[in-house]
Amino acid sequence: MDFQVVVLAGGNSKNLTPLVSKELPKPLLPVANCPVLYYVLHQLEQSNLKDLIVVVEGEDAALLVGAWISGTFIDRLHVEIAAVPEDIGTAGALRAISHHLTAKDILVVSGDLVSDVPPGALAATHRRHDAAVTTMLCSIPVSGPSESGSSGGKDKAKKLGRYNIIGLDPSKQFLLHIATEIEKDARISKRILHAVGQMEMRSDLMDAHMYAFKRSVLQEVLDVKDTFQSLKEDVLPYLVRSQLKSEALLNRTPQGEENGNEKVSSQNNQAFISRILANASTPSFHGIYSKNPDGSSSTRKTHKCCVYIASSSSYCVRLNSIQAFMDINRDVTGDADHLLSPNNIIGPSPKLGTKTTVGPNCRLGEGSEMGDKCQVKRSIIGRHCRIGSHVKVVNSVVMNHVTIGDGCIIQGSVICSNVQLQERVELKDCQVGAGFVVTAGSEYKAESLAKKEK
């Protein structure tokens, strides 16, 4: 279909500090015992997109990710791993691989997107409107499990800042305004407002970081505006702002390369045909605007910024905070369990002690052992964990190779790989970084514990 797919997998993320580390870059962060990148790749694979470019920040991370992909999707996907330096931003990453882009349109997907929205839908919308950029919007997920009470106090405060202010045209097909943060005042182009006549401002939608770009436009923007760092904060708003005065962005050469003698007539006919086509199609405000104001032939250059709004029933969340991580873990095992392909759901049944109960919506990885009288509810336990007796794990994520001593109580926490919890530790809403050792009898509440980096 002449689409090239770029997965921006990222590398280290500051938002997820204790969870990700050098050894475990963000793309490999397990969500329900499955790296988060898997969800994106799986979704793309289901859509029959098998040639991918995965961009990873940092050489080491790229090696790790590459090893994992080749191990998991061997023979199924054709993936090129591109390592880019850290902290150059999404736009920078694209700029770095710009010379690899050849297809007519580029689909850019963020590697931390856990979604069941088919990317084809976005691509189809993009093609149908012949847009310069199409972005996917989804409704903002319900944040924070209600039962976890006070869990996300500070996360919620953060979330407020992540709201997008999005302006749509009445047909909800075109993007007229996008701003990331709530600012004191939003600047809206008068020209756009005038051309459209009516704008709908929404704050209940979220940019899902799945974009379809016209390659020529993307490359030109990246070339010309070399200070742009982020797709979302720089490139997209720029394209939206300039959609009615596109600065030679779309130097769409008219297809008819006339050959000498019949130049005039063929041009004439081209104009004729395009007029027929233009009259027959439902005009968007771009078209009307470009013809305005006096019907003169000098058309103004415009490009279209479209949106694809995912239906509210579909699942679409980005893993960009610890709270989101918890939410996704909960949803993937619960409501949105169709995201996992069947072979990932149940590992070989772990060894359970007597009177140990495992509640619903749990995942237990292979080779994990549990002592007597344990309780596991709404939690995910990774591979090869050793859990002593009288342990209670609720609403938590326990990754691989974790040792938990007897009598621990873990609530709403994330415990990374190779962590050792000695006896009678109580954790509530904590994040424990990889390789940390929690001494016996300690109690923590809403803290983030990690080994000191040397």
Q: Which residues bind another protein (CB under 8 A)?
A: 1-3, 47-49, 104, 118-121, 123-125, 127-128, 130, 269, 272-273, 276-277, 279-283, 295, 311
Q: What is the DSSP letter of 244?
A: T
CB of 298 to another protein, least distance (A): 15
Min CB(172)–another protein separation in Å:
13
Residue 2 or 87: which CB sits closer to another protein? 2
Cα 343 from Cα 187, distance rounded (Å): 49
Q: How far is the CB of 56 from another protein (least distance, A)?
A: 23
For the CB of residue 297, give the shortest distance to another protein in the complex, in Å: 13
Nearer Cβ to another protein (125/396): 125
Alpha helices in 25-170 (DSSP H): 36-46, 59-72, 89-96, 119-129, 153-161
Report how far Cα 419 is from the mean position of its chain's Cα atoms: 28
What is the nearest approach in angstroms of another protein to the Cβ of residue 214? 13
Nearer to another protein, 279 or 349 (CB): 279
Nearer CB in complex with another protein: 273/440: 273
For the chain, how big is the Rg over CA atoms in Å?
25
Q: Which residue carries 């509530």 as its tokens?
A: 428
CB of 116 to another protein, least distance (A): 10
Query: Which residue number, 186 or 273, has a Cβ lying nearer to another protein?
Result: 273
Residue 272 beta carbon to another protein: minimum distance, rounded to whole angstroms:
5
Distance CA 131, CA 247 (A): 15
Least Å distance, CB 106 to another protein, is 14
Dihedral sign from CA coordinates of 65, 67, 68, 73: positive
- Contact indicator for 8, 109 with CB cutoff of 8 Å: yes
Between 168 and 410, whose beta carbon lies closer to another protein? 168
User: What span, in angstroms and rounded, lies between the C-alpha atoms of 250 and 28?
Assistant: 38
In degrees, to the nearest 5, what angle opens at C-alpha 233 toward C-alphas 229 and 234? 55
Measured from the CB atom, the residue of 161 and 260 that comes closer to another protein is 260
- Beta-bridge mates of residue 393: 376, 410
Which CB sits closer to another protein, 339 or 394?
Answer: 339
Q: Which is nearer to another protein, 130 or 223 (CB)?
A: 130
Name which of 118 and 367 has its Cβ closer to another protein.
118
Query: Minimal CA–CA distance to 168: which of 307, 302, 288, 314?
Result: 307
Residues with Cβ within 8 Å of 116's Cβ and at least 6 positions away in sequence, in order, are 43, 314, 315, 316, 336, 338, 339
CA distance 354 to 374: 8
- The DSSP output letter for 233 is I
Q: How far apart are CA 310 and CA 308, in angstroms?
A: 6
Distance of closest approach, residue 3 Cβ to another protein, in angstroms:
7
- Rounded distance between C-alpha atoms, residue 345 and residue 215, angstroms: 38
Closest distance to another protein from the beta carbon of 441 (Å): 54
Ordered alpha helix ranges (H), 213-262: 215-224, 236-241
- Smallest distance from another protein to CB 119, Å: 7
Contact indicator for 371, 406 with CB cutoff of 8 Å: yes
Tokens read off for 158? 């953060």
Q: In 3D, which of 405, 403, 359 has the Cα closest to residue 382?
A: 403
Give residues with Cβ within 8 angstroms of 277, minimum separation 6: none
Instruction: Please say which residue, 123 or 138, places its beta carbon nearer to another protein.
Output: 123
Give the burial class of 388: count Cβ atoms within 10 A of its Cβ; 0-12 exposed, 13-18 middle, 19 or more buried.
buried
